[in-house]
Amino acid sequence: MKLLILAGDGIGPEVMAEVVKVIEWHKRQGLDFVVSHDLVGGAAYDAHGTPLTDATMERAQGVDAVLLGAVGGPKYDNLDFSVKPERGLLRLRKEMDLYANLRPAQCFDALADHSSLKRDLVAGLDIMIVRELTSGVYFGEPRGVSREGNERVGINTHRYTESEIARVARSAFELARKRSNRVCSMEKRNVMEAGILWHDVVEEVHKAEYADVELSHMLADAGAMQIVRAPKQFDVIVTDNLFGDLLSDCAAMLTGSLGMLPSASLGAPMENGRPKALYEPVHGSAPDIAGQGKANPIACILSFAMALRYSFDLGAEADRLEAAVEDVLAEGLRTPDLGQDEDTRSVGTQEMGDAILKALD
């Protein structure tokens, strides 16, 4: 089971160090993980002048799962667009063809009071946002800033093919079958023709292959409203790359558990039957707290739990790791992002990682 760790920038290396401990623990239990490390994002730019070298890209294609920390930071704000840290991550997503980005928005019981939403609206929340990750306005051509007459014009192209929509819709329906069997698809078909195609293809796939799953459609603006009004109405949400970016961040934030949320980006099965896969926390590189040892490693650790489940079919091991996380929360351990009250104890990154290891035993 080959893993490539790309810790990246900001708090990436700190939180990934705790994941490495968790991997070591699993190796001691007899699981045969082979781990290698490489650079991505600003760290790769600093070393090689590019946010992802061809050599790293090749290594990523050769492993079973890539574990990514985070990319970006103010230091790189003025870099040319083509070498910004984010381009490294986007290249991985595109070239590995990781079309289904699974973003659970889950509210941990111990943290329900930490949400900006009222407790009863989020306690027990467990929705899965499936975001298309390889197409749309992120990758469409033509794109760029050019000059027309006296002024500059900025262009990006939102583009989806039928097969791109169909495959991510299938991912959503498959997931729904293992959950509460409901999918809500979001687009803006009232103003975008590409939204009509999105809607129609999701309908067609549903009718032909997943008629047993309950399907609904919502305009993305109404979806944003409903996510903040009554998030528990949803089970699986499927949407495009850009809407998925905003809606999943919005949903993640309102769980009160942003520092807790993992994600999986999955592509087609490889020869060994495992899907191409990259796992990363939903949070970013958090440059404001980087290097201070106070970042929450849980999102990154739970991303590894997703790897256990989706790449290696080790569901029991994933459950056990997730239970260990719940345990330390129940004990009252909190990194600073999770808030404090009289029943909790403030810990740093390493202490949190160590506590999870102990809970695993």
Ligand X SMILES: CC(C)[C@H](C(=O)O)[C@@H](O)C(=O)O
Q: Could you list the residues that contact ligand X (CB under 6 A)?
A: 72, 86, 89-90, 190-191, 221, 245
According to the annotation, is 143 in a ligand binding site? no
> Closest approach of Cβ 231 to a copy of itself, in Å?
9
Instruction: Considering the complex, state which of residue 32 and residue 80 has its C-beta at the smaller distance from a copy of itself.
Output: 80
Name the segment binding a copy of itself (CB under 8 A); options: 48-56, 160-168, 293-301, 303-311.
Answer: 160-168
Given ligand X, a copy of itself, none, residue 207, with its beta carbon under 5 to 8 Å by kind, binds none
Active site residue 109: no
Q: Say how far apart CA 308 and CA 260 lie, in whole Å.
A: 17
Which of these, 97, 209, 229, 81, lies nearest to 156 by C-alpha position?
81
Q: Say how far apart CA 116 and CA 228 lie, in whole Å.
A: 10
Please report whether residue 152 would count as binding a copy of itself according to CB under 8 A: yes
Q: Say how far apart CA 292 and CA 79 lie, in whole Å.
A: 25
> Tokens representing 210?
């997943």
Interaction with a copy of itself in 232-251: which residues (CB under 8 A)? 242-243, 245-247, 249-250
> Closest approach of Cβ 245 to a copy of itself, in Å?
5
> Closest approach of Cβ 358 to ligand X, in Å?
31
Which of these, 310, 312, 324, lies nearest to 264 by C-alpha position?
310
Which of these, 199, 182, 181, 203, lies nearest to 190 by C-alpha position?
199
Q: Say how far apart CA 232 and CA 227 lie, in whole Å.
A: 8
> Closest approach of Cβ 253 to a copy of itself, in Å?
4
Which string of DSSP letters, residue by residue, matches 249-306? HHHHHHTT-GGG-EEEEEEEE-TTSPEEEEEEESS---TTTTTTT-S--HHHHHHHHH
CA torsion, ordered 238, 243, 245, 251, to nearest 10 deg: -70
- Positions touching a copy of itself (CB under 8 A) are 72, 81, 84, 86, 90, 116-118, 121, 137-138, 140, 143-145, 148, 151-163, 188, 190-198, 201, 220-222, 224-230, 242-243, 245-247, 249-250, 252-254, 258, 284
Q: Which residues are catalytic?
A: 138, 188, 221, 245, 249
Annotated binding-site positions for substrate: 93, 103, 131, 221
